[in-house]
Amino acid sequence: MTDQKRRYFGTDGIRGRVGDGAISPDFVLKLGWAVGRVLAKESNSKVLIGKDTRISGYMFESALQAGLSAAGVDVYLLGPMPTPGIAYLTRTFHAQAGIVISASHNPYHDNGIKFFSNEGTKLPDAVEHEIEAMLDQELTTVESIKLGKAHRVDDARGRYIEFCKSSVPLKMNFAGMKIVLDCANGATYHVAPDVFKELGADVIVMGASPDGLNINQNCGSTEPRLLQAAVLEHQADLGIALDGDGDRLIMVDHTGQIVDGDELLFIIARSQKLRGKGSRAIVGTQMSNIGLEIALAAHDMTLHRSKVGDRYVIEKLQETGGVVGGESSGHIICLDKTTTGDGIIAALQVLCEICRTESNLHALRSLVTKYPQTLINVRMTKMIDVSNDNAVIEAVKAAEMILGKEGRVLLRPSGTEPVIRVMVEGQDPNLTKQLAEDIAAVIESSMSEQNASIA
């Protein structure tokens, strides 16, 4: 893997506010051309394009289509489709690449472009570097006889619904289970309700009326308060919250309590272990709660931590031979089912375990005792490396001595803004809060001293 710095690609494609920088129609047109030149070098190449429900998706879909056509690539338009659905269809269509127009859980005024390889996996760093290098070249159009054509895929939704249902054993159904389903007014609005209904559940749907502007607005996995209230109001067995592009999952138990990615990851991993499937290696991230690690160890499983980001979770799964991994935010990856994080697939695996154990979500999530976490964002005028700062190092060591084996300290620079995230985890919430504040104060002091010395 090259150490060359990427100019446009972040941990999950290119993302930003619509109209700013790379998230503009002229740049996206050339990006489509560059992707066509790099990923679709064969004759008769084809690339799939899908999007979430943002109003800007129409504009960027057209721009990508024009760029790809200029590179001589045929385009297959999927329309609104969950990100994991695009990964799946890229494989089944034997396409050279899949492109997703989405900013995931961000508000409507943001958008992004991310890519899947012909295997339905995130692009390697080397390929992203090659695309960025191609962006420096002059855009040239192939001869008219070689221009790419556009095709509308009318049955994309149905194909993906059947794929999701295939992840559930044939003899299992969810009859008698009442579910409140929040689609975040996003890409799952016309997919997820049918998946759960066709598997027998009684489904109460919310967040399924997208208007281009209301994606993730007071709904979905990042805003589950209305879902919590709805579960209690309807006396439902549980609630399911997806995000705008369908790759995140948060659930709510029948008492209205949120069940996050760490707890869902444990439920799925434990289920596989009890059935003699999967692997002892489970992958979380640096932010995964230590309570998850302890609960997995009690069931003879080991938590391996990756950097934050689902691409890094997948890399660690491949490295350790693991099958299940995920993030606290709700990216859950089941490599025995699919190639990327999939909120619907993950939810189905949890429902299957509820049926197998004749239990409920509240009881299953109670097997994990989460430790209190305090997270403080220390904002900087510009990013400063604190990893070699003696005062910060000593402050972290002092906190770790106090916490012992029953806690953790993590300093993590943001990948998108000049912020250092200070996370302290331990059994005592008051202690974790105090230690996090102490470390944050030391970082702020060191930052002031560095700025003063520069001035």
Cα 401 → chain centroid: 34
Structural domains in the chain, sorted by start:
14-154 (3.40.120.10), 160-365 (3.40.120.10), 373-454 (3.30.310.50)
Determine the length of the chain. 455
pLDDT tens track, the chain, 455 positions: 344 567 888 777 899 999 999 999 999 999 999 999 998 776 678 999 999 999 999 999 999 999 999 999 999 999 999 999 999 999 999 999 999 999 999 999 999 999 999 999 988 888 889 999 999 999 999 999 999 999 999 999 999 999 999 999 999 999 999 999 999 999 999 999 999 999 999 999 999 999 999 999 999 999 999 999 999 999 999 999 999 999 999 999 999 999 999 999 999 999 999 999 889 999 999 999 999 999 999 999 999 999 988 889 999 999 999 999 999 999 999 999 999 999 999 999 999 999 999 999 999 999 999 999 999 999 887 767 777 889 999 999 999 999 988 899 999 887 667 789 999 999 999 999 999 999 999 998 887 776 656 54
- Residue whose tokens read 């690609």: 9
pLDDT of residue 55: 98
pLDDT of residue 122: 87
The CB-side HSE value for 195 (13 A sphere, CA atoms) comes to 29
pLDDT of residue 412: 85
The rounded distance, in Å, linking the Cα atoms of 376 and 441 is 10
Active-site residue set: 104
Exposed / middle / buried, residue 343 (Cβ in 10 Å: 0-12, 13-18, 19+): buried
Model pTM greater than 0.85?
A: yes
pLDDT of residue 43: 66
Q: What angle do CA 313, 287, 345 make, to 5 degrees?
A: 45
Q: CB under 8 Å to 289, separation ≥6 — which residues?
A: 262, 328, 368, 370, 371, 373, 425
Cα-based distances in Å from 108 to 54, 113, 217, 239, 343: 6, 14, 8, 24, 20
pLDDT of residue 1: 38
Exposed / middle / buried, residue 435 (Cβ in 10 Å: 0-12, 13-18, 19+): buried
The rounded distance, in Å, linking the Cα atoms of 45 and 72 is 8
The rounded distance, in Å, linking the Cα atoms of 111 and 233 is 34
> What would the two tokens of residue 1 be?
């893997």
Per-residue pLDDT tens over the stretch 219-246: 999 999 999 999 999 999 999 999 999 9
The rounded distance, in Å, linking the Cα atoms of 90 and 97 is 6
The rounded distance, in Å, linking the Cα atoms of 256 and 157 is 31
